[in-house]
Amino acid sequence: MAAVRLDEIVARLGGRLIGDAGRSIRQVATLERAGPDEISFLANPKYQEKLLATRAGAVILPESSASACPAACIVSDEPYLYFARVAQWLNPVNAPAAGIHPTASVESPIPDSVSIGAGVRIGPGARIGARSRIGPGCVIGSGVSLGDDSLLHANVTIYDGCHIGVRAIIHSGVVIGADGFGFAREQRGSWVKIPQIGSVVIGDDVEIGANTTIDRGALDDTVIEDGVKLDNQIQVGHNVRIGAHSALAGCVGIAGSARLGSRCTVGGGAVILGHLNIADDVNISAATLVTKSIPKAGTYSGAVPAQDHAAWLKNFAHLRHLDSMADRIRTLEAQLARLTGIQPTSSHNAEKES
C-alpha cells in the first residue's frame, strides 16, 4: 500500500485535522512504537502520558486531548472506530487470482470470479457467491449456500444444507453444521441419538474465529444474525439464536436453544446455559456463568477474581458455613427483637432478594 497524506485521510473519513496536512502515512502503530510515517490513536485518557512521549507522525484522538498532542492529529468523536477504518485502508486484503486449483473437487457450478484453493471439495447443489475465496482444504457440503464476497480461510468445514450470507469471514478450523448434542436416555442408561434435521443460517457480514463450532438445529435452525462477530474457540449449541451485531469473545459456550438479543457482548470464557433468553444490549462479563434468563439491558457479572491461594482457601471455608451462619444470625435477630421490640429486616430481605 502506498503512503497516503493526512489531508487525503480526512477527505475520505472526516474529522478535523490539526497540523501538517501533507504528512505521509504508511502504516498504523501503537503510541509507544509509532514512527514519523505512522499513525496511532488515543481513545482512553489513562494513556495520556504515552501520547506526550509519542513519535508518531499523527494521532487520532478526541477533542479533549488535542491540545496535548506533540504531533499532527485528527480529532474524532470515536477515535478507535476512526483508527479501525484507517487500518483497513492501509492494509487491504490481498485477493488471490480467480480460478479453481487442479487438485480441487468441485461438483457445482462456480462463478468465474471465485478463487478455489488446493484440495477443496464442494459438493453437488452448492451455491458459491461471486468473488468469494475458498482457502486450501475447505469442505463445503451439498446444498450449501455461500454469499458473495465471502472469505473462507484454510480447512473450514461447512456441512450439508447450511446457509451463509454475503461478506462472511470464516477462519481456519471452523465447523458449521455438525450435529447438535441431542440424545435421549433409556432406562438402562444407554443413549439414543436424536437426528439433527435442522440447519445453520448465518446472516450477512458475520465473522467467525478459528476453531469455532456452530451446531445445526435439532428441528428448527441455529441462527446467527447479521453483523455478529465470534472470536476463536466458541461453541454454539443447536437451535441457538444470536441477535444482530452481537460480539462474543474467545471460549464462550452457549448451550442449546439459548437466545441472545441484538448488540449483546459476551466476555471470554463465559457460559450461557440452554433455553435461556438474553435481552438486547446485554453485556456479560468474562468467565460469567449465566444460569437464568436476563430480561433487561445492562451489564452482568458472576466471576470471582483471582486471589492468593491461601486467602482463597480461607474465604471458601467461610462459604461452606454460610447456611449455619445465617441460622445463627436469625436466632440472634429474634432474641434482639424480643428484647427491643424492633423487628429485624435485613436477613428477611436478603432471603426475598435471593
What is the pTM (predicted TM-score) of this model?
0.89
Q: b/e map of 55-73 (b: 16 or more CB within 10 Å)?
A: ebbbbbbbeebbeebebbb
Cα gap 141→165, rounded to integer Å: 16
Q: Can you tell me the mean pLDDT for 253-272? A: 98
For residue 315, which phi and psi values (nearest 5 degrees)?
Answer: -70, -40
Q: What is residue 318's predicted lDDT score, i.e. its pLDDT?
A: 87
Which position among 101, 163, 238, 245 bears the catalytic label?
A: 238
Burial degree of 85 (CB within 10 A; 0-12, 13-18, 19+): middle
Evaluate whether 332 touches 315 at the Cβ level (below 8 Å). Answer: no
DSSP 294: B
Residue 353: what pLDDT? 46
Q: Report the mean per-residue pLDDT for the chain.
A: 94
Question: How does residue 346 score in pLDDT terms, banded at 50, 70 and 90?
Answer: low
- Tell me: the pLDDT tens digits for 217-240? 999 999 999 999 999 999 999 999
Q: Give the number of other CB atoms < 10 A from CB of residue 218.
A: 21
Give the start-end residues of each E strand in 168-291: 169-170, 175-178, 183-185, 191-193, 200-202, 207-208, 213-215, 222-224, 229-230, 235-236, 241-242, 247-248, 253-254, 259-260, 265-266, 271-272, 277-278, 282-284, 289-290
pLDDT digits (tens, 9 = 90+) for 85-136: 999 999 998 888 999 999 999 999 999 999 999 999 999 999 999 999 999 9
Residue 306: predicted pLDDT? 84
Check: CB of residue 258 under 8 Å from CB of residue 276.
Answer: yes
Check pLDDT > 60 for residue 350: no
pLDDT per position as a tens digit, 158-199: 999 999 999 999 999 999 999 999 999 998 889 999 999 999
Say what angle helices 6-13 and 79-90 make with each other, to 10 degrees: 110
238 among known catalytic residues: yes
